[in-house]
Chains A and B, each alone.
Chain A
Amino acid sequence: MDILQIIGASMVLIGSLVLLIASIGLHRMPDAYNRIQVGTKASTMSVVFVMIGFIFILPSWFGKFFTIMLFVMLTNPISSNVLMRASHKKGEPLSSKTVIDNLKEDEEKEELNKNNENGTF
């Protein structure tokens, strides 16, 4: 067995382990926001690991695997961000342990600014 193949296989193993941990975390997390965060962060990382492993195993396919990696790294966080915003707007309840809710504060501030402007004019 080639040394490159061993490195690549271990990378793929690390990636799948990260995914396994994420799936355990998906059950343990208290509310939707934490679950989305666990799923996105870990699945992006695991795809990156798996793709790097594939590059080691099949070096001639470097371009394709790198493109897949780039696409996943770009799209996964954006889509989870959109999902989170949508559920926040819909009023999905936060966990009771939550300390700070920045998005809500921002929205309230914006609302306040708008009202002030309307009041002065």
Chain B
Amino acid sequence: MRNSFLIILIAAFAWFMYDIFSEYQTQEQLNKTAAYYNSNEPSEAGAANVVTAIVVTYRGLDTLGEVTVLFLATLIIGFILKNKAEKIIDSKYKTSEILETGAKVLVPGSLILGVYIFINGHLTPGGGFQGGAVIGSAIVLLLLADPNKIVSHKLMNFIESTSGFFYVVIGILGLIIAGGFLDNRIFPLGKLGSLISAGAIPLIYSFIGLKVGAEISGIVNNINETELTDKL
């Protein structure tokens, strides 16, 4: 009974999708929206990476909502896992000396790589989300090398909330000085392709990067510190 229902469902979905697939033609020209973005972005926003300009400026509210969703996920995870047991030193789990030493060398390098990625987000591929993910991976490596290490929750909360606050403050500054919320023209646009250009885009993307990095690290840290017990 259940299986036949499942097969009917999958077949219906496949038929629906086949409709899209059969009518799809590889396009030769950009559609209207993309043509507007591609041709007007260099003069309006001044970022060399068009995707960055769309994420940060044209669709800035989407990004704000997205960061809020991630923040809520972190918050709920911290709330669900709130009854943490005492930090038990797990003597059975011993990592090798090579991994510990290697982590000491690699973690600062990964952090610097993450910062590089989101500072150069408006010039090269990359940006706040990618840089934040790299920072989160560095924290994961830190916790893998020594699972009993205590990563400060206070510091992460501080970074997370401060960068979120400044993100919104820059958005409101755009409302006052320039054309609208999260407008990047509160600073001069500068020369296309140089590091200090594109107005507020590098600043906003750096704050997004710090926020995403702190949130991902917070999720991983919270889950790592939880010890399952029988009591709820």
A interface residues (Cβ-Cβ under 8 A, vs B): 71, 74-75, 77-78, 81-82, 85
Nearest-Cβ distance from residue A50 to partner chain B, whole angstroms: 20
Report how far A71 CA is from B96 CA in the complex, Å: 20
> Would B106 and A74 count as touching, CB distance under 8 A?
yes
> Would B109 and A78 count as touching, CB distance under 8 A?
no
> Would A81 and B96 count as touching, CB distance under 8 A?
yes
Chain B residues whose C-beta falls within 8 Å of the C-beta of A78 in the assembled complex:
98-99, 102, 106
> Would B106 and A82 count as touching, CB distance under 8 A?
no
Report how far A25 CA is from B25 CA in the complex, Å: 45
Within 8 Å of chain A (Cβ to Cβ): is B105? yes
Chain A residues whose C-beta falls within 8 Å of the C-beta of B105 in the assembled complex:
74
> Would A82 and B99 count as touching, CB distance under 8 A?
yes
Chain A residues whose C-beta falls within 8 Å of the C-beta of B98 in the assembled complex:
77-78, 81
Contact among B96, B102, B106 for A85, CB-based, below 8 A: B96
Could you show 17 A-B contacts with beta carbons less than 8 Å apart? A71-B109, A74-B105, A74-B106, A74-B109, A75-B102, A75-B106, A77-B98, A78-B98, A78-B99, A78-B102, A78-B106, A81-B96, A81-B98, A81-B99, A82-B95, A82-B99, A85-B96
Report how far A74 CA is from B110 CA in the complex, Å: 12
Chain A residues whose C-beta falls within 8 Å of the C-beta of B99 in the assembled complex:
78, 81-82
Chain A residue nearest in CB terms to B144: A82
Chain A residues whose C-beta falls within 8 Å of the C-beta of B95 in the assembled complex:
82
> A75-B102, A78-B102, A81-B99 provided; 16 other pairs, C-beta below 8 A?
A71-B109, A74-B102, A74-B105, A74-B106, A74-B109, A75-B106, A77-B98, A78-B98, A78-B99, A78-B106, A81-B96, A81-B98, A82-B95, A82-B96, A82-B99, A85-B96
Report how far A7 CA is from B102 CA in the complex, Å: 33
Report how far A74 CA is from B109 CA in the complex, Å: 11
Report how far A75 CA is from B113 CA in the complex, Å: 14
Chain B residues whose C-beta falls within 8 Å of the C-beta of A74 in the assembled complex:
102, 105-106, 109
Nearest-Cβ distance from residue B123 to partner chain A, whole angstroms: 13
Report how far A59 CA is from B109 CA in the complex, Å: 23
Report how far A78 CA is from B95 CA in the complex, Å: 12
Chain A residues whose C-beta falls within 8 Å of the C-beta of B106 in the assembled complex:
74-75, 78
Chain A residues whose C-beta falls within 8 Å of the C-beta of B96 in the assembled complex:
81-82, 85
Report how far A75 CA is from B105 CA in the complex, Å: 10
B87-114 vs A, CB cutoff 8 Å, 1 = contact: the mask equals 0000000011011001001100100000
Which 4 A-B pairs have CB atoms at the shortest separation, nearest pair first?
Answer: A78-B102, A81-B98, A82-B99, A85-B96
Chain A residue nearest in CB terms to B98: A81
Report how far A75 CA is from B95 CA in the complex, Å: 16
Report how far A82 CA is from B106 CA in the complex, Å: 15
Report how far A77 CA is from B99 CA in the complex, Å: 10
B53-67 vs A, CB cutoff 8 Å, 1 = contact: the mask equals 000000000000000
